[in-house]
């Protein structure tokens, strides 16, 4: 089961981003110093190797924050992505776990929906010829395979809730799936992914939905 909200307050988030920013400054400074030293002293052998490694490490420390800043400038400042923006799936079991988090579980419509449709027009409801139970089993299996934390799964309610932990900083993004029976025992699937902290998710939630649905389509042998 998913643990309660890990004390990542707004101040902690700001501190994490400040550390990232100073790492970028330090990284690019290290690159400059290494290049200056190589041009000024013209070292060779082990000294040259150390400088090259230092420059590479500095470049790596600079690149990630810089790249994320570029992405943040290109995507809308939203943190809640839903396949269905008119009637988005609702969090139930996750709600008490996120009490006091900066971004409440409620869906902010219509502002969020308008920005999403403008930037992510490819994200839409998916239909499957398989039964709700088959799709339910496929999704729960994928959640386990992808290392998400299962929060709640109810076939009777057609609802699955889980939490994905981001690679950087270990932030928790929440996901909820809604399965509805369609014609001839087919299934209509809606998915929503939300970040409990931060104004912008830097496109993470949209990419998560794209990746998950692509893998699910492959697992259910759905042609593109």
Model confidence, pTM: 0.72
Cβ neighbours for 7, distance < 8 A, ≥ 6 positions apart: none
- Burial of 215 per CB tally in 10 Å (0-12, 13-18, 19+): middle
End-to-end CA distance of the chain: 34
Please write the tens of the pLDDT for every residue from 169-209. 567 899 999 999 999 999 999 999 999 887 778 888 999 99
Please write the tens of the pLDDT for every residue from 3-62. 333 434 444 445 555 555 666 667 678 778 878 888 888 888 788 888 788 778 777 776
Higher-pLDDT residue of 162 and 74 is 162
Task: Round to whole Å and give the CA distance between 53 and 55.
Answer: 5
**DSSP track, 166-197:** -TTTT-EEEEEEEEEE-GGG-EEEEEEEE-SS
Cβ neighbours for 66, distance < 8 A, ≥ 6 positions apart: 24
| DSSP-assigned letter for residue 97 | G
Please write the tens of the pLDDT for every residue from 46-76. 888 887 887 787 777 766 665 656 555 566 7
187 — phi, psi (to 5°)?
-135, 140
pLDDT at 50: 82
């Amino acid at each position: 089961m998913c643990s309660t909200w890990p004390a990542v307050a707004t101040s902690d988030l700001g501190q994490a981003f400040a550390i990232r920013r100073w790492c970028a400054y330090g990284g690019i400074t290290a690159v400059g110093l290494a290049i200056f030293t190589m041009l000024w002293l013209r070292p060779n052998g082990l000294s040259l190797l150390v400088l090259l490694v230092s420059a590479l490490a500095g470049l790596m420390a600079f690149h990630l924050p810089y790249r994320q800043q570029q992405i943040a400038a290109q995507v809308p400042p939203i943190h809640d992505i839903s396949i269905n923006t008119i009637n988005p799936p609702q969090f139930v079991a996750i709600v008490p776990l996120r009490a006091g988090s900066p971004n409440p579980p409620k869906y902010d419509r219509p502002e969020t929906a308008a920005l999403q449709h403008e930037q992510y027009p490819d994200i839409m409801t998916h239909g499957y010829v398989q039964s709700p139970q088959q799709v339910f089993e496929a999704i729960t299996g994928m959640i386990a395979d992808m290392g998400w934390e299962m929060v709640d799964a109810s076939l009777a309610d057609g609802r699955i809730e889980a939490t994905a932990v981001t690679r950087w900083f270990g932030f928790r993004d929440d996901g909820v799936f809604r399965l509805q029976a369609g014609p001839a025992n087919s299934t209509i699937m809606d998915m929503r992914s939300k970040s409990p902290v931060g104004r912008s998710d830097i496109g993470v939630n949209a990419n998560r939905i794209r990746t998950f649905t692509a893998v699910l389509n492959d697992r259910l042998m759905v042609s593109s």
